[in-house]
Amino acid sequence: MTTPELLVPAGDMEKLEVALDYGADAVYVGGSQFGLRAMAANFSLEQLSRARDLTRARGKKLYLTLNAYLRPGEIPALESYLEELRPLEIDAYIVSDPGALHVVRQNDPLMEIHLSTQANTTNAQAAEFWRQAGVRRVNLARELSLEEIGRVRRETSLELEVFVHGAMCVAYSGRCLLSSALTGRSANAGACAHPCRWGYALVEETRPGQYFPIEEDSRGTYVMNSRDLCLVQHLPALIQAGVDSLKIEGRMKTLYYVAAVTRVYRAALDRYLADPHTYMVDPAWVEELDKVSHRPYDTGFLFEPEDAVVHAADSRYQRTYDFVGIVREMTEDGRALVECRNRFFPGEKLELIGPGMRNAFLIAEDLSNLDGNPVEVAQPNARILMGLPDGARKGDILRREKNSPMPEPGA
C-alpha cells in the first residue's frame, strides 16, 4: 500500500511553522519570483534558507513553486534566480512551463522537478512525456475522476499528486485569461484578480445604464464561482488508487486555515494507515472543516465527471468561527502569552485547538497586558497574558463561534 505524503501550503514563515506543527510531511512555498501567488508574502532567499533548515531539522520536505508561464524576456531572470537558489538545496521545484523546465534542467540538472496542475496532465501518455523530460512527480489535472487517476497510476511510474482540499478554479486546471482580459493582471503570472468571483448583471443595448441582475437567489448571481474541494471522506479510495501525495490548496489562506485543515487530514491519514480494515470517517473531521471559512464543499470531478458541480447557486464564503489568537509562549506560572488576531472580551466562550485534534473550551478570563494590568478587551495585534486549560501549548489556536452571545459589561 502506498503511504502518501501530506503536502501543505505555506504562504510565509509563520504558516510554514504551523503546517509542520500540525502534521505536514512537506510544504510548498513561493519565492520572490515566478510563483503563481504574486499577492502572497512569499519567501526571500534568506527566508528560504531558514525554511530549508527548519524542514530538514524536522525530517520534512520543502518544495518551491516556479510555475509561472514565462515570456521570452524573463528567461535570463529565471537563470539568475536558479543560480541563487542552487546553494539552498531545496527538495524540489514545482514547474508548469516546458520552457522553465528546460531552463531548470540546463542550470540544475540534479534538481527534482514536480509538474504543476497548470500543465493539465490528463493521461498516462502525457505523464510519460514529462517523465522523459526529467519530471519526477506530476500533479494531475483536477478534471480527472477516481477511475481515471487509477488508470494513469497503472500506466506510468511517475509519482502522482492530487489536490484533496481547498479552492477550485472555474478554468481548466487554473489556466485562465479572464483576469488578463478584464484587469491586465495575468493569472498565469500569479496576479489573478479573481473576476470569476465578481457579481455580474446584464445590460440591454437600447437601455444603457440599466443593469438587470441574473438572479440565482435574492443576493445575486455567481455563475462562475466554483465550490471548494473537500475529499477527507474519500482518502482511502485515493490511497488505494496509488496516489503518492495529497495536496492541500491555500498559500493565500490564513494561518488558522492551515492549522485546522492540516490537523484533520493528518488525523484521517494516520488512522487509515494504522488500520485500513477498521477505518471509519470521524464526524468530528467534517465538523472541523466546516469551522474553517469556505465555499460550499464538493468532491469536484472525483466521481462521475458529468455530475461534477463546479459552481453553486450561492457559493459565497461560509464562516462560522473567528480566529482570535495564537499561543506564542507558556509562562512559568501556567498562563499563556497570546497574540490576538481578532477582538475578544473577558467572559467570552472560546475554543482552543492544537495538533493531534486536541481541543478544549474555556471562558476567557484573567486577561492582562504584558505589564500585568487587566485589560477590558483583547485587541487585534495586541499581546496579552491569559489563563488557558491544562495541556495548552505554544502554537495552539484560539477561536470563537461567530455570533456567540457577548458577555454583559462588567461581567
Cell representation of residue 57:
531539522
| Fold match between domain 5-175+227-305 and domain 321-401 | no
The low-confidence residues of the chain, meaning pLDDT below 70, are 1, 36-41, 172-175, 188-190, 213-224, 304-316, 404-411
pLDDT score, position 411: 47
What pLDDT, on the 0 to 100 scale, is given for residue 358? 97
> What amino acid is encoded at 136 in this protein?
R
DSSP letters, 333-351, are TSEEEEEESS-B-TT-EEE
CA nearest to 259, candidates 330, 404, 338, 356: 356
* Whole-number pLDDT of residue 79: 96
User: Which residues pair with residue 383 across a beta bridge?
Assistant: 339
Give the CATH number of domain 5-175+227-305. Answer: 3.20.20.380
Cα–Cα distance for residue pair 105/100, rounded to 1 Å: 9
Report residue 197: phi and psi, to 5°: -90, -5
Q: Sketch the domain layout of the chain as residue ranges.
A: 5-175+227-305, 321-401
In the prediction, which pLDDT does 219 show? 54
Q: In the prediction, which pLDDT does 353 show?
A: 98
Q: Which CATH class is domain 321-401?
A: mainly beta
120/140 Cα distance (integer angstroms):
7
pTM for this prediction: 0.89
Predicted confidence (pLDDT) per residue in 243-271, tens digit? 999 999 988 899 999 999 999 999 999 99
What is the number of residues in the chain?
411
